[in-house]
């Protein structure tokens, strides 16, 4: 069973490294083999994930400002996702770690994350012209 687990991790790491190399070398703006957002194509509106591929490309090329410009939600969520990986990989977490895991990844945290994503989704699609219309 342990060998199977190590094998799964090895495959996952190899896949992640290969994808990171592809995203570092090829810019999704100029490459046709990266998928386009179906929501954007159908509605003309950006979904919360729009710009994530470009943001990953810029992050892997150490251009943080361009990555933030493409998808700030993705960039800001990376430390949170890494914390989740750390919490899940601990074999014998302490009581303090379990308490933090519950705070950061429990039911309330999920609701907060959903609200953040929804607010981000709405605000990234509001232009200044729309904002003036809403105020008036």
Number of structural domains in the chain: 1
pLDDT tier at 52, thresholds 50, 70, 90: very high
Q: What is the pLDDT of residue 85?
A: 87
95, pLDDT greater than 80: yes
Reduced to 3 states, what is the DSSP secondary structure of residue 63? Answer: coil
Place of tokens 């896949």: 15
**Residue from 69, 68, 70 nearest 28 by CA:** 70
The answer to whether 64 and 76 are in contact (CB under 8 A) is no
- Condensed to tens digits (0 to 9), the pLDDT of residues 104-128 reads 999 999 999 999 999 999 999 987 6
Segments forming the whole domain that contains residue 67: 2-135
pTM, to two decimals: 0.80
Q: What is the pLDDT of residue 77?
A: 96
Q: What is the pLDDT of residue 6?
A: 84
- Condensed to tens digits (0 to 9), the pLDDT of residues 57-82 reads 999 999 999 999 999 999 999 999 99
């Amino acid at each position: 069973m342990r060998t199977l687990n190590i094998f799964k991790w090895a495959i996952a790491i190899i896949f992640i490294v290969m994808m990171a190399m592809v995203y570092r070398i090829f810019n999704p703006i100029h490459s046709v083999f990266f998928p386009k957002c179906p929501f954007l194509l159908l509605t003309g509106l950006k979904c919360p994930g729009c710009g994530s591929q470009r943001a990953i490309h810029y992050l892997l090329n150490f251009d943080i400002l361009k990555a933030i410009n493409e998808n700030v939600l993705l960039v800001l969520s990376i430390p949170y996702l890494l914390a989740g990986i750390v919490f899940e990989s601990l074999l014998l977490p302490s009581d303090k770690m379990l308490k933090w895991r519950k705070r950061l990844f429990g039911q309330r945290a999920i609701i907060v994350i959903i609200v953040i994503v929804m607010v981000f989704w709405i605000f990234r699609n509001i232009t200044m012209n729309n904002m003036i219309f809403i105020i008036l």
